[in-house]
Amino acid sequence: MWKRIASLSPLVSSSKSTLPNQASYGLNIWKSLSTGICTPVRYGNLLKEKTPFITFVLGGPGSGKGTQCIKIAQTFGFTHLSAGDLLRREILSNSEDGTMILNTIKEGKIVPSEVTVKLIKKEMESSENYKFLIDGFPRSEENRIAFERIIGAEPNVVLFFDCPEEEMVKRVLNRNEGRVDDNIDTIKKRLKVFSSLNLPVIGYYSKRGKLRTINAVGTVDEIFEQVRAVFTECEAMK
């Protein structure tokens, strides 16, 4: 679905609309609508398809964003794409990229932007949905720029799960999921990297009017009530 909208050419060529320069017209709609906070993005009468509604979900490891994404997907019909899960799946594939990703994660570093965006893009292209939660990405300005360049769109909403470092460390160590990055040394490296690189991304989207900060301390349901308010606002504007 994504690929059909992004390229436009197969659909435009088969349309019987008399609008001049339909491809240019459609792309201009993409650019003007995809940057609006909580704005329902659609092609109107030109094509009976909706352009992607993208939500970035940011927060340190253990901030609870993954759990909240599951509830958002179930409640509001989003497709949940976890950057971390996609990377771990690539590791298990034993591909060349998978080996590189594993070594990078062990060192507490961020995987090259193009690699992660490529995995995200592949999942978006194969989905029939138009609403996406991009969980755990972008984590740096380089990530952000690469996503917008390769995907060709900005997020509509950016959720930031704000959680104290000591709480995140406790949660990660207690979840006991057997992940390669769930140990005290690696988690401290990841938190340091997250703090140094993520703040510019958060600041950028705050200036763009897209940022929604969630207090990530409390029960799952208490935190979700804050999240629900954000998406209820978006639904009300459709």
Binding residue ranges for CMP:
143
Rounded mean pLDDT for each run of 10 residues along the chain, 238 residues in total:
36 34 35 40 38 92 91 95 90 91 86 92 92 92 95 94 90 70 76 86 95 96 96 80
- Domain ranges (residues) in the chain: 3-7+18-236
The residue type of 124 is: M
pLDDT at 72: 95
Cα angle: 25, vertex 29, 34; to 5 degrees: 155
Owner of token pair 């990841």? 190
Query: Strand 131-135's sheet: what is its strand order?
Result: 79-82, 131-135, 53-59, 157-162, 211-215
How many Cβ atoms from other residues are within 10 Å of residue 84's Cβ? 17
How many Cβ atoms from other residues are within 10 Å of residue 166's Cβ? 8
pLDDT at 15: 34
Binding residue ranges:
62-67, 88, 109-111, 136-139, 143, 175, 179, 190, 218
What is the torsional sign of CA 107, 113, 114, 117? Answer: positive
CA distances from 132 to 23, 30, 119, 185 (A): 24, 16, 14, 32
Following DSSP, what letter does each residue of 10-72 receive, concatenated? HHHHH-----SSHHHHHHHHHHHHTTSTTPPP--TTT-SS---EEEEEEE-TTSSHHHHHHHH
Fold assignment, 3-7+18-236: Rossmann fold (3.40.50)
Contact 90, 142 (CB under 8 A): no
Binding residue ranges for ATP:
62-67, 175, 218
pLDDT at 6: 39
Binding residue ranges for a ribonucleoside 5'-phosphate:
88, 109-111, 136-139, 179, 190
